[in-house]
Structure 1
Amino acid sequence: MAIAAVRDVVASDKRFKDEYIFMGHSMGGILARAVIEQMDDHKVHTFVSLAGALSGISYGPQDADRIPLQFLAQGSAATAIPPAVFNFSNYSTNEYRGKMQYDWARKLTDPELQATYSFANVVRFPVRNAWSDTNEFMPVFNNMNKYGVSAPWQMGQFGHYSDVETREEIETKFEDLSIVEMHDTVEYKEDTFGLRTLDERTCEFNLVYNTYVYKVIS
């Protein structure tokens, strides 16, 4: 559907006849990337992802995740995941420090949930094998599926939280979770989908808002 929509837009506007910039924000970042990779007749010359969910959404212990968690508590995810399926608002402040993440990880292993709600497809929980065995989008998209306002913000630069051994450790070792920067990820080191190759070609992964975006929209 997304590819068909892009083709319709491109065909109806002569400005896109030769080549164009494709920009995506937040969930749109991973959607735009998926379209580019699957659409064999696109004419995108530059892809810009702003806070895109490129390596998966995960709510961890770093201070920057507190605001996204506050939005969850206020019901911001209700349109993506009905409260009857999983109620993010049903937790105390302390329970957002591991218990909610553990419960959510357990829920994410439900194949019916993965097949029904697209938001579940872009979530990453830090038990690599369990995550890659049950999520049929993000691990597959990043070629990691057979490796035996979102958070963290580093996901927009292909970073993610460190892994633990079991789902129970998401709760018991929550405060020990740390960010794995892009260059230290398995995806980068093993170049599972060309990330290291792009970096070696001087693709820009750092924040671009002040340099490129603000002066255009201000």
Structure 2
Amino acid sequence: MEKERRSTVGERSRRAILDAALECFTRLGWTATTIEDIRKGSGASVGSVYHHFGAKEGIAVALYIDCLRQHQEALRARLERELDAEGFVREVVIHHIVWCRTNPQAARFLIQMRRDESVAAAEPEIQEATGDFVREMYERLKAFVKEGQLLKLPSSAYLPLLLGPAQELLRYWASGKGELKAGIEKVLADAAWRSLRPEPPAGGRHDAR
């Protein structure tokens, strides 16, 4: 019982530190934020911060993985309801944009930190923590291709066609140069599906949607 209590307290402390870190990184910027800023925001002790994460870079990597998992788990739940390729493709794009609009701090952190040295150095750790979801995505895409529901392409082409335009829009938005207007997710979902739907039979045509 005591061990379980300590585990619960430890997880609450860890969660408070991550939440405070996201707030500090958003308000002050990654470079300017200090461990003391995060400690004050979380109410944790310096020892607790270092126990859970080590240096500030460790907090950044843990927060990156946490935000990415939140995004993935929400998408996984939505994709479980999509049984065909068109619904799958559209839902991936729509979720990506809507989740970022709904969770702007986490979304901006993911986008802005993706190429930061601290996150890039932890790429193996990030892949280990989130790789199952990516593999699930590709397995479903492969199944749709096999069933003739998706255009057959090199595996490396699917992600750029699915999310390339959306990701470019989100990078622009994350830099503070634009906004995510309502309805833009449907426009980009339509474009993604047009690029990935199978070729119509000779003499046939796709119905516009």
TM-score, with length taken from structure 1: 0.29
Is the strand fraction higher in 1 or 2? 1
TM-score, with length taken from structure 2: 0.30
> Larger C-alpha radius of gyration, 1 or 2?
2
